[in-house]
Amino acid sequence: MAHFDYQDFDREIWDKDLEDFVPSTVYDMHTHMWCDAHRGSLTGEALGLRTEIDYQDHLDWAAKLYPGREFHLLVLGTPMPGMDAEGHNDWMAAQLKADPESAIHMMVTPDMTPEYVAAQVDKHHFLGLKPYRTFAADPAGARIEDFFPEPFIEVAHDKKLSITMHLAKPNGPADLDNQRDLERYSREYPGAQWILAHCARAFNAFMMEDAIRFLCDLPNIWYDTSAVNDLYSHFLLMKHEDRTRVMFGSDNVVAGCARGKYITYGRAWLFYPGDEAGTPHCDSRATLVIYEQLKQECQVAEMLGLTRDEIADHFAGNAKRFLAKMRANQE
């Protein structure tokens, strides 16, 4: 069971800034779960990403974060080299049987075979795949093919699956290799739908500034907004993209519910936990990353004049239609 750290200050932020913004239904299109029974060859204490998080934990967190809201989610698993990926996928499938409106993307690793991936999709009715750069030899500088072999994309195309993609490389979506790969894969394999995680991983707005017009021209591309705390990234995405392709995501629980904020400077970004030392001039208490994100999404909605219907679609309608499309593809 996860340890929940929700404070009175967080409730103050919700009541003042977010209660009137977040609509009655929330589909979170970027969440993670973990059970340390599937640690495989991992050793040491189960901390950080290895925090135990199951489906009920997500419901408990959602009740705190978005009180009174209907809640569903897309679960992506938790990627760690050495883990028991098969056991992890089986466990997630069993967990999500409680909610037919929610969905899972199968955790895939490069050492799997496309035949195995296809069989597991059929076995558990997974709606998509979740590769991750952690499984590449060079996680920071990897191209997509280094952790997501092209035969897996063929499986996604043939079975009309979605793919949640966390891009690598320092410039993320502005990297020319990433752009070449997305251009080719999205056009050569039109049966696959790509969800570019973290606003296409534009944690720093310079990446979105350099990539947004390229991204807007791609077919079969969607986005989740998880854990991005850069206001201008959110603004550019919602200003220039087809807003029906942008879906709310949180990166909960471990990242989204961390206390602090992802900050940017130059061409960098990092997690800042807040610092009460030396700040007597202000209230230095930190709230949760997800509330920092939601405040920025609220500000962007105000700046762009989003309607209540557009906001409802961002938080639920777009995701609900997307998941219905994925389910129809499997019938």
Show Cβ contacts of residue 101 under 8 Å, excluding neighbours closer than 6 positions: 72, 320, 323
Instruction: Answer whether 0.75 is exceeded by the pTM.
Output: yes
Are 210 and 171 in contact by the 8 Å Cβ rule? The answer is yes
Residue pLDDT, tens place only, 175-211: 999 999 999 999 999 999 999 999 999 999 999 999 9
**Which residues in the chain show pLDDT less than 70?**
1-4
How is the chain split into domains, by residue range? 8-329
- Give the residue among 249, 298, 296, 291 at the shortest CA–CA distance from 7: 291
Residue pLDDT, tens place only, 56-96: 999 999 999 999 999 999 999 899 999 999 999 999 999 99
Q: What is the pLDDT of residue 281?
A: 87
Peptide bond into 228 cis (omega under 30): no
- Give the residue among 293, 274, 277, 295 at the shortest CA–CA distance from 285: 274
What is the dihedral angle through the alpha carbons of 277, 264, 319, 291, rounded to the nearest 10 degrees? 20
Q: What is the pLDDT of residue 4?
A: 60
Q: How far apart are CA 169 and CA 141, in angstroms?
A: 4
The full length of the chain comes to 331
Q: What is the pLDDT of residue 48?
A: 78
Q: What is the pLDDT of residue 47?
A: 72
CATH superfamily of the domain spanning 8-329: Metal-dependent hydrolases (3.20.20.140)
Q: What is the pLDDT of residue 2?
A: 42
Q: What is the pLDDT of residue 77?
A: 86
3-state secondary structure the chain: CCCCCCCHHHHHHHHHHHCCCCCCEEEEEEECCECHHHCCCCCCCCCHHHCCECHHHHHHHHHHHCCCCEEEEEECCCCCCCCCHHHHHHHHHHHHHHCCCCEEEEECCCCCCHHHHHHHHHHHCCCEEECCHHHCCCCCCCCHHHHCCHHHHHHHHHHCCEEEECCCCCCHHHCHHHHHHHHHHHHHCCCCEEEEHHHHHCCCHHHHHHHHHHHHCCCCEEEECCCCCCHHHHHHHHHHCCHHHEECCCCECCCCCCECEEEEECCEEEEECCCCCCCCCCCCCCCEHHHHHHHHHHHHHHHHCCCHHHHHHHHHHHHHHHHHHHHHHCC
Q: What is the pLDDT of residue 224?
A: 98
